[in-house]
């Protein structure tokens, strides 16, 4: 499991990347990228999407909550004091939809300490900052109890557990900071992220989980009805969209609200049973499944449509078949099945 991936994250498929520079009207100013959570699925791909730009990966002692909070607060103060342009990418967090409330709260507090550090630093200096922030939030957490899919940024959020509530709480804190200091902030409500390198220890990542079950014969424990509809976005595609948005956020919010909430999605929804059929057709092998959803479960539609900066897309999104092939190649290597 500790082996190095057989290829870098930006070369899984034979698609030409489309690079994004500053938006029209954006000054050619060097921006230093700061990535928190750079070792995770999204963070690793964000670092790859940044290419050779000036960047730094922040390492946080996550196992020591008090020390992590202190480190993040200090980072916020330090960022606020910078006289150069910076973009912070928050891609950290181990919590998922079914994570216990105690762990979810720890992570919410950690993000809050970073925001508090930025606020206190700006208040102390009294000077404007040339920074901008991206925070990875959750579409599933926000709209778990919402009605009338497809959901958009204008749909009323209805979280159903601690995870969704914490994500929305962080969004509100970031929104307050953004408007208080006119600091561009993007809250990215990401749909179901998947791709090579996904943490198999986290209770998430249906695509990776079903491919793993297919490879190992260990049954996939399915906790949702097979007719449940969701959007699945490949990590590389999501990362490119995130970087493109941060490239454009200053020019697009100039003279406007500096806080932006956007859904990051592929725009292509699949039912769970449809995903199983794709995997079985692609690899001519059944996916063993143990159904754990409530008896008589009905179809639940979690499809989304982004209406905020809908023109901002990366190169053509990877289709689910090629995405599954990339995940399968990665898992065969990591599980030493070659």
Give the per-residue pLDDT at 203: 61
Give the per-residue pLDDT at 1: 33
DSSP state of 31: E
Element (H, E) at 326: helix 320-334
Q: Which tens digit of pLDDT belongs to each residue from 200-215? A: 776 668 999 999 999 9
CA distances from 144 to 51, 86, 155, 164, 275 (A): 35, 33, 12, 8, 20
CA 92 to chain centre: 9
Give me the DSSP letters along 235-268.
HHHHHHHHHHHHHHHHHHHTTS-SEEEEEE--S-
Look at residues 146, 166, 54, 49 and name the one whose alpha carbon lies nearest to residue 105: 166
Below-70 pLDDT ranges, the chain:
1-28, 202-204, 293-299, 314-315, 338
Q: Which tens digit of pLDDT belongs to each residue from 114-166? A: 999 999 999 998 888 999 999 999 999 999 999 999 999 999 999 999 999 99
Give the per-residue pLDDT at 199: 81
CA distances from 67 to 60, 165, 187 (A): 8, 25, 25
Give the per-residue pLDDT at 96: 85
Which residues are CB-neighbours of 215 under 8 A, at least 6 positions away?
328, 331, 332, 335, 337
Give the per-residue pLDDT at 61: 95
């Amino acid at each position: 499991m500790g082996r190095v991936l057989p290829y870098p994250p930006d070369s899984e498929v034979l698609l030409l990347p489309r690079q994004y520079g500053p938006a029209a009207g954006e000054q050619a100013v060097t921006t230093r990228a700061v990535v928190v959570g750079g070792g995770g699925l999204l963070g690793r791909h964000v670092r790859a999407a940044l290419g050779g730009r000036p960047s730094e990966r922040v390492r946080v002692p996550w196992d020591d909550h008090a020390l992590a909070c202190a480190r993040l607060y200090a980072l916020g103060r330090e960022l606020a004091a910078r006289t150069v342009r910076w973009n912070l990418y928050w891609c950290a967090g181990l919590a998922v939809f079914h994570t216990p409330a105690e762990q979810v709260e720890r992570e919410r507090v950690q993000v809050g300490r970073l925001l508090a550090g930025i606020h206190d630093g700006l208040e102390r200096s009294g000077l404007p900052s040339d920074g901008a922030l991206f925070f990875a939030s959750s579409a599933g957490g926000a709209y778990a109890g919402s009605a009338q899919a497809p959901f958009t940024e204008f749909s009323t959020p209805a979280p159903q557990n601690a995870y969704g509530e914490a994500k929305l709480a962080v969004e509100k804190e970031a929104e307050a900071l953004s408007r208080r200091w006119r600091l561009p902030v993007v809250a990215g409500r990401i749909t179901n992220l998947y791709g090579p390198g996904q943490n198999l220890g986290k209770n998430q990542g249906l695509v990776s989980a079903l491919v793993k079950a297919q490879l190992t014969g260990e049954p996939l424990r399915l906790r949702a009805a097979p007719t449940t509809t969701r959007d699945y976005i490949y990590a590389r595609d999501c990362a490119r969209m995130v970087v493109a948005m941060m490239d454009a956020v200053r020019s697009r919010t100039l003279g406007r609200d500096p806080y932006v909430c956007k859904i990051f999605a592929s725009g292509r929804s699949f039912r769970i049973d449809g995903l199983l059929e794709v995997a079985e057709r692609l690899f001519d092998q059944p996916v063993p499944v143990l159904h754990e959803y409530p008896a008589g479960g009905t179809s639940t539609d979690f499809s989304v449509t982004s209406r905020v900066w809908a023109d901002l897309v990366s190169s053509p999104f990877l289709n689910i078949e090629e995405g599954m092939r990339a995940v399968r190649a990665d898992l065969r290597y990591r599980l030493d099945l070659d």
